Structure 1
Amino acid sequence: MTEGYEVVVVGGGAAGLSAALVLGRARRRTLVVDAGEPRNAPAAHVQGYLSRDGMPPAEFLAAGREEIARYGVELVRDRAVDVRGGTDFAVILAGGRTVRARQLVVATGLRDELPPVPGLAERFGRDALHCPYCHGWEVRDQAFGVLATGPLSVHQALMVTQWSKDVTLFLHTVAEEELTDEDRRRLTAAGVRVVPGEVAALVVEDDRLTGVRLSAAAASGEGPVYDREVLFVAPRPVPRTELLERLGAEMTETAFGAYPVVDGHGRTTVPGLWAAGNASGFAEQVVNAASRGYRAGAAINGELLMADLDAAAGAAGV
């Protein structure tokens, strides 16, 4: 069975719910398809969102779902597995439904691919962190480590010194000769200790990070352990943009993956197709994602209104 909506929003995070809220308040028949896989699920709290600072992510999303329901927006727990374009959009769900929409918002976010260090995935979002703006205040003045996996790791190490003066940069997969003279000057000025060698594992005691273990220099035995309470990492972002690509949206390569070309409202190069949140760019934290969703929702309502008025004027011969 195929059901029709004015707008279908794929993704029930901050961006998708924000777009749906605006559309519901504009009296648009809207459906949100939510697979229930928010990027910030490992985090204990949402931070830096005015009036919601410190709120658990699950509570934040639950409040958003309650709000959109007040305005008649439907939400289904399902996954969009395919999509087709044409005069409108057909979204095929894993549960067997097909829903059609005049306008489609893709707010599917991204997933974080962590470096393959034993113990890291289990600590991610707790004391293995990626964003000092999200978590720095909560771990301030503790002993920080930074796991270097690429050229931006030096920048990350320098940034986190705003929250702790005890910072060690573990070069891990970065060779010492890859550090530029400018890198070395800044690291020295910031008081960051640089430790060469590959990280073998995290040391955890009583369910808390206590150290970082390096690989052993010899074939047998264990490497040295550096006492650390927090480890900052830079996951590889993997944008969930498959639906956008299937519909032919123009993509652009960035240092953080391929994202759709969008205007200031999230409009892609495919008419009627929109992207919001981390499906539209890497640096969309929760507050930014919500803003992106709001902009998309307002722009979509305007497009639908003008299209209906033009159709009515044409039918009347005006």
Structure 2
Amino acid sequence: MVVGMDADVVVIGGGPAGLSGAKALARSLRSVVVVDDDRPRNAPADGAHNVLGNEGIPPRELLAAGRRELESYGGRVQPGRVVDARPVDDGFEVQLADGGTLTARRLLLAGGGVDELPDVAGLAERWGRDVLHCPYCHGYEVRGRAIGVLATSPMSVHQALMFSQLSPDVVLFAHGVELTADDRGTLAARGVRVVEGTVTGVEVTDDRLSGVRLADGEVVPREAVVVASFVRARTDHLAGLGLPVEELRMGDLVLGTKVAADGAGRTPVPGVWAAGNAVEPMAQVVGAMTAGLLAGAQINMDLITEDAARVAG
């Protein structure tokens, strides 16, 4: 660690990506501090799935285990909220909401993303419980049930088709989205019924989702609703870095925003890496872990190279 710096690396965000990157650095004998504001994206979910060896583990339990592992290698988790970060001589200064600061030679941004949902009454309150988005994250848990897919774009057809593998009773609520004849034919071939009209809310009975309400008053019984969120990278608190943010696009569709970074997590801002949902909003827990590990390894090598160059003169 350079004299005068608080750490070799400050990691902003203590989710799967941030903790994995920090752990890789700590195991390489780097001093690392993770600043975390305890707002994991998957907090509403009962469990994290497809995590080999930890199937269905509650998200906060997984993060608590990760923090313990990091600390066992000398890494530190500092509760707090970052309000800005900026380059300084030999590194970066991270400003905290409580007025404190941290300095480091490198930064790893792993603050994740924020899910923005359509303005439909009751949707946000059920998010992560029986309002879902990913068949691989939570589809098995609603297998065989009456599932509704709320269309937000033509991509919703793709969601309906995937969930039709998990249940014979899937309804796509068109919600004003234009569907092509090919789309309708493919949906029909998979047994997916299309319901026209605008969705105004979801019904809840005994703390369980029970139906989808249309503008004409009809309630279609459903036990789960699938919707694609707009995922916005959490970067508003990092203005001082001048970090480029890009649209996440699929063809002409804009699905969210993401931090600009290469395949190893290196951003266009020298000394700054990013990993997890901030870079790849569609990444599941294991993917975020992998990206964090790769970014941590890249940061370690970058520091080794810098140190060697400094000695060589």
Q: TM-score, normalised by structure 1?
A: 0.92
- How far apart in 1 are the matches of 2:76 and 2:144? 45
1:147 maps onto 2:150 in alignment: yes
Out of 96, 100, 116, the position equivalent to 2:99 is: 96
Once the 2 structures are TM-superposed, how far is the Cα of residue 241 of structure 1 from its aligned partner?
A: 2.3
Tell me, yes or no, if the aligned pair for 2:144 and 2:169 is still in contact at 8 Å. Answer: yes
- How far apart in 2 are the matches of 1:34 and 1:140? 35
Listed one character per residue, the Cα deviations across residues 119-145 of structure 1 (whole Å, up to 9, x for unaligned) are: 112211111111111011111011110
Matches within 5 A, 1:44-55: 44-55=46-57
Tell me, yes or no, if the aligned pair for 1:274 and 1:296 is still in contact at 8 Å. Answer: yes
- How far apart in 1 are the matches of 2:125 and 2:160? 22
Tell me, yes or no, if the aligned pair for 1:106 and 1:244 is still in contact at 8 Å. Answer: no
Residue equivalent to 1:189: 189
Task: Give the stretch that moved more between structures: 83-92 or 269-278.
Answer: 83-92
- How far apart in 1 are the matches of 2:88 and 2:182? 53
Listed one character per residue, the Cα deviations across residues 284-315 of structure 1 (whole Å, up to 9, x for unaligned) are: 1110000000001111111111111111121x
Which structure: larger Rg?
1
- How far apart in 1 are the matches of 2:246 and 2:204? 40
- How far apart in 2 are the matches of 1:173 and 1:257? 20
Tell me, yes or no, if the aligned pair for 1:157 and 1:167 is still in contact at 8 Å. Answer: yes
Out of 213, 225, 237, the position equivalent to 2:219 is: 225
Q: CA RMSD in A?
A: 1.4
Report SS of the residue matched to 1:53.
coil
Tell me, yes or no, if the aligned pair for 1:168 and 1:194 is still in contact at 8 Å. Answer: yes
Out of 16, 19, 33, the position equivalent to 2:18 is: 16
Tell me, yes or no, if the aligned pair for 1:198 and 1:214 is still in contact at 8 Å. Answer: yes
Matches within 5 A, 1:129-278: 129-174=132-177, 178-216=178-216, 223-242=217-236, 246-254=240-248, 255-278=254-277
1:303 maps onto 2:302 in alignment: yes
Once the 2 structures are TM-superposed, how far is the Cα of residue 208 of structure 1 from its aligned partner?
A: 0.8
Out of 33, 36, 45, the position equivalent to 2:35 is: 33
5+ long unaligned stretches in structure 1: 217-222
5+ long unaligned stretches in structure 2: 249-253
Q: TM-score, normalised by structure 2?
A: 0.94
Once the 2 structures are TM-superposed, how far is the Cα of residue 243 of structure 1 from its aligned partner?
A: 5.0
Report SS of the residue matched to 2:161.
helix
1:285 maps onto 2:284 in alignment: yes
Q: Report the residue type matching 1:298 in the other structure.
A: A
Task: Give the stretch that moved more between structures: 32-41 or 112-121.
Answer: 112-121
